C-alpha cells in the first residue's frame, strides 16, 4: 500500500499487542488516535503534523494491520492499552489527539488523568450522551444510513466519501472490511457512547481543545459544544469547510491548530 502512511508504519509489540504504528517527525510528542475509517484515511493530516512534532499513531486493535486479541472488545480496553503504550515508549507531556471514534478514546483517557498526558485535542469526537430521552439519537446512524446520505452528512464535500474499490488491491480491500468490523465492535452498543462519560469529564485536568467541523451532520455542532462545556477550561473551535472529518477535508488547517495548541504548553 502506498498511501503515504503505510510505508512508514511498522509492527509494534511493546504493549504485548501487535499494533500497526505510524511514527514520524521530531519535537513534542503527539499520540494520534484515528477514527472509524482507519489510520490510512488520515495520512495527509499525519504527514502535516509530522513536519512540526513527533507523531505516534497506532491502528486500534482490529483495524488496519493490528491484531485483535480476544480480550479486547470495548473502548475501555483501548484506554488501558494506550496507557501502556505511553509507558512503553516513555512519552512525556504528550498531546493526545482523537479523531471521531479516537476522540472518544482520548476523552476516556483524559478522565484517567495520566501523568504523561499534557494536553488533549478532540476532533468531532463521539463518546457522550447528550439527550436525556433514550429514544432520541444524538448522532446520525452511520451503519443504517444510505451511503449517499451518509456522505452528505459526513462531509462538506460529499465527493470525498467516494472510494473506488475496483482500484484497490486485495490487501486494501481486506483492511477496509476489517476497519468496518472493528468500528462496529467498539461502537455498536451502546451506540458510539459511554452513558457515564459526560458526568466524568469534569475530572479532565489536561489542557483541552475541542475542534468541530462546521458542517458535521453526524455529530452536530450542538453535540460538540456539549462536549466542550463538560470539560473545565476547554476551548471550542469551529473549522469551516469541513464536516465530520476535518483531518480529510482540512488537513493543513487542522494540523496547524493542533500543533499550535501543543506548542502553547511549552511556553
Average pLDDT, integer, range 181-191:
96
Which DSSP helix (H) or strand (E) runs through 114?
none
266 pLDDT band, cuts 50/70/90, is low
Residue pLDDT, tens place only, 235-262: 999 999 999 999 999 999 999 999 999 9
Distances (CA, A) of 245 to 108, 215, 227, 231, 251: 20, 10, 17, 22, 9
pLDDT at position 267 is 54
Average pLDDT over all residues of the chain:
94
Whole-prediction pTM: 0.95
**How many CA atoms, within 13 angstroms, populate the side-chain half-sphere of residue 195?**
8
Confidence of residue 8 (pLDDT cuts 50, 70, 90): low
The pLDDT assigned to 65 comes to 94
Nearest to 110 by CA among 30, 35, 197: 197
Q: What structural domains does the chain harbor?
A: 6-264 (3.40.50.1820)
DSSP string, 160-179: GG---GGGS-HHHHHHHHHH
Amino acid at each position: 500500500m502506498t498511501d503515504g502512511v503505510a510505508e512508514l508504519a511498522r509492527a509494534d509489540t511493546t504493549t504485548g499487542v501487535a499494533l500497526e504504528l505510524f511514527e514520524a517527525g521530531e519535537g513534542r510528542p503527539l499520540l494520534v488516535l484515528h477514527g472509524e475509517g482507519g489510520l490510512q484515511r488520515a495520512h495527509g493530516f499525519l504527514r502535516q503534523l509530522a513536519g512540526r512534532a513527533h507523531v505516534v499513531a497506532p491502528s486500534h486493535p482490529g483495524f488496519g494491520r493490528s491484531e485483535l486479541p480476544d480480550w479486547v472488545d470495548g473502548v475501555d480496553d483501548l484506554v488501558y492499552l494506550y496507557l501502556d503504550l505511553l509507558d512503553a515508549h516513555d512519552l512525556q507531556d504528550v498531546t493526545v489527539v482523537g479523531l471521531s471514534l479516537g476522540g472518544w478514546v482520548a476523552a476516556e483517557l483524559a478522565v484517567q488523568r495520566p501523568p504523561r498526558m499534557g494536553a488533549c485535542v478532540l476532533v468531532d469526537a463521539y463518546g457522550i450522551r447528550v439527550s436525556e430521552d433514550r429514544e432520541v439519537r444524538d448522532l446520525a446512524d452511520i451503519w443504517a444510513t444510505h451511503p449517499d446520505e451518509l456522505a452528505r452528512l459526513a462531509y462538506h464535500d460529499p465527493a470525498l466519501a467516494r472510494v473506488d474499490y475496483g482500484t484497490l488491491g486485495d490487501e486494501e480491500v481486506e483492511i477496509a472490511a476489517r476497519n468496518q468490523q472493528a468500528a462496529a465492535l467498539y461502537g455498536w452498543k451502546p451506540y458510539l457512547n459511554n452513558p457515564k462519560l459526560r458526568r466524568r469529564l469534569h475530572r479532565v485536568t489536561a489542557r483541552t481543545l475541542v475542534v468541530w467541523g462546521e458542517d458535521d451532520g453526524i455529530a452536530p455542532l450542538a453535540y460538540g459544544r456539549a462536549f466542550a462545556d463538560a470539560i473545565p477550561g476547554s476551548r471550542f473551535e469551529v473549522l469551516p469547510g469541513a464536516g465530520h472529518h476535518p483531518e480529510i477535508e482540512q488537513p493543513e488547517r487542522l494540523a496547524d491548530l493542533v500543533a499550535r495548541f501543543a506548542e502553547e504548553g511549552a511556553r
